[in-house]
Amino acid sequence: MATQVVMPKLSPTMEEGQLSRWLKKEGDTVAMGEPLAEIDTDKATMEMQALSAGVLRKILIKEGETAPLGQPIAIIGQPDEDISSLVGQQPSPTTTTPSAAPQKAAPAQQQPQTGGGNGGKPSPQSVSQPASRLVVSPLAARMAAEAGIDLRSLNGTGPGGRIVKRDVESAISQTKTTETAPARHLRAVEPSPLPASPFGASSYHDQPASEMRRTIARRLVTSLGPVPHFFLTTEIEMDRAAETRRSINSLDPELQITINDIIIKIAASSLSQHPQVNASYQDKTVRYYDHADIGVAVAVDEGLITPVVRSAEQKSLRQIASEVRDLAERARNRGLKPEEYTGATFSVSNLGMFGIDEFTAIINPPEGAILAVGAMSPKPVVRDNQVVVRQTMRVTLSCDHRVIDGATGAKFLQTFKKYLENPLYLIV
């Protein structure tokens, strides 16, 4: 009996999915539980599995296209079965919001056909089936397809050999260099003509937004407008924190403690002292959290994802450093489970490694605050009537004024600054 495969719900915040890659093509035999396609959600790329056996008779959406939850995306049936009644048919309400197990990729949701019969052969579909599995970001896959570049000819420079945007851009640049080399030689011996007319408007090309980028856009619209932000900035001397990091790492080079790990630990400890900042505004209540679940902003090819360090106030620097490295690597490979990037109570966004001195971050609802961290750099300061050079860093706390008042946010920053300038407070 033929069944409809519908777009499944693969994460708690998912509203639609983007078909990254079909792992089967029309006419291929499909076994129950066998991977059928890769779906881009708002945070990760996940495999979708078949719930029944048969033949992939019809692919209803192409790679790169987006479908809302519950929309039919393919049909599985017997080779000669009539599937005309299922093509274009809407799913029943019971299959419009399928759920996924968080520990593994969710199976494809399918709807049984109400009737059967004999019909025609499956129509051909121009969906390529790779000879071997490649680790490639969805954005890189789309760019390569548009430029006509064979992904198998590229060497991935991302984590685990993953092919990312810069690899495709490099291949495109090399292709253009090869194609235009003779033309440049000819221009070298011929006079350049004068432009016949002034430059017109720039040409452009549109590229489908990824699910991650769409989700970021939706969430920012619901943050900066409805959430009344205010911002508090302070400057922190970082010499002792930097020396603490060096001393810890000299004891065990494999620890690889970073300044950001220390910031996460101290932010969590400060939240324990100021629970009003570790809170979120609900419709008619203010929710205060018992633990500091710190969201750590990680830049990926297509946007930003915020994996969460749970109960960071109870963890050692060693635990935080190891956990952050693991979460960040899997975030860049789009391998996080939904529960690993949702439910933070407070976030830290650090752009210091990019040379940014100071910035303000937008709160990620329903959190009540986010800390923006700038670069650490030497600066002349006056101490005991003497000008000395100190490593300084500027941080800005963005606060939801419905939950946090100005004095409350300022007291949190005072504690954060005191701990960071004197890291020994953490062991007292």
Query: How far, in Å, are 2, 50, 106, 118, 299 from residue 113 at the CA level?
Result: 5, 16, 22, 13, 44
- Give CA–CA dist 388/274, Å, rounded: 33
CB contact at 8 A, 103 and 123: no
Helices (H) and strands (E) in the chain — how many of each? 7, 19
What torsion, rounded to 10 degrees, do the Cα atoms 235, 240, 245, 249 define?
A: 160
DSSP class per residue in 111-173: EE-S---B--PPPP------SS---B-HHHHHHHHHHT--GGG----SGGG-B-HHHHHHHHH
- Report phi then psi at 425, rounded to 5: -55, -25
How far apart are the C-alpha atoms of 373 and 350, rounded to whole Å?
Answer: 5
Annotation marks residue 205 as catalytic: no
Give the SS3 label for residue 378: strand
Catalytic residue among 185, 274, 291, 401: 401
Tokens (6 digits) for 295:
């969201």
By C-alpha distance, which of 269, 256, 235 is closest to 375? Answer: 235
For the annotated catalytic residues, the residue numbers are 401
